Amino acid sequence: MDIEKELNPKTNTLQTSEDFAFADVFDAELDLLECRFNNDSCVEIDTNKYQHITLTLENLEVLKKLILKSEKFYKDCYT
């Protein structure tokens, strides 16, 4: 069983509105991180609810893939 998918079926999946990309990602301690992608090849992680976050190599790889997917979304959206 994938506990992350049980807790949030859309975790690690790029979600979009009309012109905005975002994703939810669990860190190593199963804290749910709200991530925004602002069409700048970066990810903005909302950490206001936490004193710290702990990212694994897998978390970083997921975030990299999400950044690349978001860049494709924005390219398709604005061209």
Give residue 62's pLDDT. 98
pLDDT confidence bin for 66, thresholds 50/70/90: very high
pLDDT digits (tens, 9 = 90+) for 28-50: 999 999 999 999 999 999 999 99
Backbone angles phi, psi at 48, to 5 degrees: -60, -30
pTM equals: 0.92
Give residue 1's pLDDT. 56
CB atoms closer than 10 angstroms to residue 63: 20
Compute the radius of gyration of the chain from its Cα atoms: 13
What is the residue range of 11's domain?
3-78
Give residue 43's pLDDT. 98
Give me the number of domains the chain comprises.
1
3-state helix/strand/coil string of 34-46: EEEECCCCCCEEE
Give residue 3's pLDDT. 87
Placement of tokens 């970066």 in the chain? 42
